Amino acid sequence: KAGVTQTPRYLIKTRGQQVTLSCSPISGHRSVSWYQQTPGQGLQFLFEYFSETQRNKGNFPGRFSGRQFSNSRSEMNVSTLELGDSALYLCASSLGATKETQYFGPGTRLLVL
Amino acid sequence: QKEVEQDPGPLSVPEGAIVSLNCTYSNSAFQYFMWYRQYSRKGPELLMYTYSSGNKEDGRFTAQVDKSSKYISLFIRDSQPSDSATYLCAMSAEGGKLIFGQGTELSVKP
């Protein structure tokens, strides 16, 4: 069974631009969560989608948004990029609503210049 | 104070040693406890999970949860150089978001 895939793997943007990251969950998984990982703050929860509905949201500004499609694929968008948005963005999928079987993708490394 | 505290290390041990990794937490509503392993430039990989209190063993790995002390541990027996990675604890309440520790960087020397 294929794992969680994320595209693109690497991205360089400049301040003020916007970016869209994509995540394809494991086949059959309906829950997709997004995380930001930085050396200083560690892994921080952004939001979770289950059957196209946002179930949980972390403490990030409104510039960070996401959505999930009917095939469970998910996208996250960051508008008006700031230097501090440079991070590894990780997507994780799970079969149902609980987190114990959550599997992570390889991440998208975003660098904002 | 962070909800989940984890010593970032780094921790360096010789091959074959027993490794003990720990996290403390403050939210008594946490019911699901996980350990992830993350190699450099990779996504975290789920190692073990435990629901509520107790122990769970899987090969060389043992996870323990002590809810009365709000303390969880991961033990690695007969550690190998391939175990060198960052280990992250994570936990959540029922239906809640996953909260991660900072991660402990482990290095197992041959």
Tens of pLDDT, residue by residue over B19-78, are 999 999 999 999 999 999 999 888 999 999 888 888 999 999 999 999 999 999 999 999
For the residues of B19-53, what is the DSSP string, one character each? Answer: EEEEEEE--TT--EEEEEEE-TTS--EEEEEEESS
pLDDT(A109) > 90: yes
**Cβ contact (<8 Å) for A42 and B99?**
no
> Which residue of chain A has the CA closest to B5?
A42
Please, which pLDDT band fits residue A48 given cuts at 50, 70 and 90? very high
Q: What is the 8-class DSSP label of residue B81?
A: G
Please, which pLDDT band fits residue A102 given cuts at 50, 70 and 90? confident
Which candidate from A4, A43, A45 shows the least CB-CB separation from B88?
Answer: A43
Burial of B104: CB neighbours in 10 Å, binned 0-12, 13-18, 19+: buried
- Residue B51 to residue B56: CA distance in whole angstroms: 10
**Cβ contact (<8 Å) for A43 and B44?**
yes
Q: Does A59 touch chain B (CB under 8 A)?
A: no
**Cβ contact (<8 Å) for A100 and B34?**
yes
Chain A residues with CB under 8 Å of B103 CB are: 42-43
**Cβ contact (<8 Å) for B43 and A107?**
yes
What sections of chain A are H helices per DSSP?
none
> Which residue of chain A has the CA closest to B52?
A100
pLDDT(B104) > 90: yes
